[in-house]
Chain A
């Protein structure tokens, strides 16, 4: 046997060992994988909130549009939840007309949510007229709180 041949054979052992070492997980301290890019669903979604109306009107005001978008976003973020839209009126006016007006308010809010992409089947409307005021005061401060559509998770 020549020295070269012996040397090649001798080197094979550590080479094999080194190979084996490279292929084994346990002793290798690999660098941590780079963190994945942030996923789009991460920020907390605001809960649904009420929208308000002018006296004897059922059209959504410009001021309510931002709240409606928030409500639509919540529904998008919670696909297993649905919503009941309750239409309410203040105590002025008469009960029967207010029962109809409350329903028109709930309907206007539902239509807007549908335009924002919420499935109509997820939205139920109900009117309470002036039967369930939030604020039982007898002034505009109370009345303005009662002219509303209230969103209830279902």
Chain B
């Protein structure tokens, strides 16, 4: 019974992969039973998985180049997840060409898992055959074939990473197809950029030669909203990413920090055209839908719960900036943060249970905290410099943020518990205001 459920789950996730990746890949069987066993053996919080990655074998010059590319992308993808201790498989893994695997060699380097495969030419496409084994028992956990156009080697490698992570943790990673939107002053002006989840494939979206700030991509991936001064005023722009059509909200006063509401094509933002800084809902065509907050003083920085029914935001209504949560239907608001005197930039986890935010501290540092939505479990994640603008990964496992720990403002990543903090992107200028967008 359980095995059937596992198979159905596997089939559903495979179907999802096919839809997401436009029929690039031809999957074969996954060994559900062994995987289930393996997941059960790995306890919660067991630490990183020691995985030996073998060089993907290939015959021919072109095939060898493909193999190198795939190996590089598999390695960086698995490394990015923070789940693995990566090691190179020993050279004597196979006793003979196509022969049995030398698990003794693996055990001697302390590997728990072995992954390896081969690349071949399949018609005019690239074929990748991967196998995954439990190093201790020698059991095969996974055998899967992929195929892709040679321009899609990275997505194919990342598909394997996602499959491997699901195999070993039971959870489908939403990270590998996701994107980041952010601000960079690389050109001398603050402009909007997008990149892959790991900072690769950076694309410049605006050329305002002005000040462009706070990008946010809609949950369906169709629109990006941001604020810039090209009209002479800080105005909100919404661009259709496919057609490049752009509309401006065009109201007098400011527009600050847009956030899309899940389940809708509406974006919340702060406008001041009625005389006070309040949060409004705007449709993707730039029209005001309705006013959301009614409180004298600053109301800014909205972020929504996963189903869009609640909105966390910053308000000065109790004196200093604090994070509040408002029910979108009833309009009732409650205060969330009581620790500290300056709490801003809330970001609601896609898992729904936590909100990350930044807190200006007495010593002048700004640091990122996480709190449960019921107000319990306050946890400080960063220290030592100016760390701000947290944004969650689509599966709630990681947070991207801005840090000045290296001097200039740069983008950093960390796990949701604050571990594994590392720099993300190395391009000129300063980078800030990252927004992690869901998989399309």
- Give chain A's interface residues, CB within 8 Å of chain B: 56, 92-97, 99-101, 103-104, 125-128, 131
Contacts and interface: CB of A to CB of B under 8 A. Distances in A.
Given A94-B358, A96-B257, A126-B233, 8 more contacts: A93-B360, A94-B345, A100-B254, A100-B256, A100-B277, A103-B277, A131-B190, A131-B213
A10 B341 CA distance: 108
Contacts of A96: 214, 256-257, 270, 300-301, 314, 344-345
A60 to B, nearest CB: 17
B298 A95 contact: no
For the residues of B in contact with A, the DSSP-based class is strand
A127 B213 CA distance: 13
A95 B256 CA distance: 10
A125 B256 CA distance: 15
Best-buried of A94, A125, A127 by chain B (most CB within 10 Å)? A94
Contact of A94 (B190, B211, B344): B344
13 contacts: A92-B364, A93-B360, A94-B366, A95-B214, A96-B257, A99-B254, A99-B256, A100-B298, A100-B300, A101-B298, A103-B272, A104-B298, A125-B253
B344 A103 contact: no
Interface size class of B (residues with CB under 8 A): 20 to 34
A97 B321 CA distance: 8
B433 interface: yes
A91 to B, nearest CB: 9
B273 to A, nearest CB: 11
A126 B229 CA distance: 10
A92 B365 CA distance: 9
Contacts of A95: 213-214, 432-433
Contacts of B234: 99, 126-127
Contacts of B301: 96-97
A119 to B, nearest CB: 17
Nearest first, the 4 closest Cβ-Cβ pairs linking A and B are: A96-B257, A100-B298, A100-B277, A94-B344
A92 B432 CA distance: 15
Contacts of A125: 253
B232 to A, nearest CB: 8
B134 interface: no
B388 interface: yes
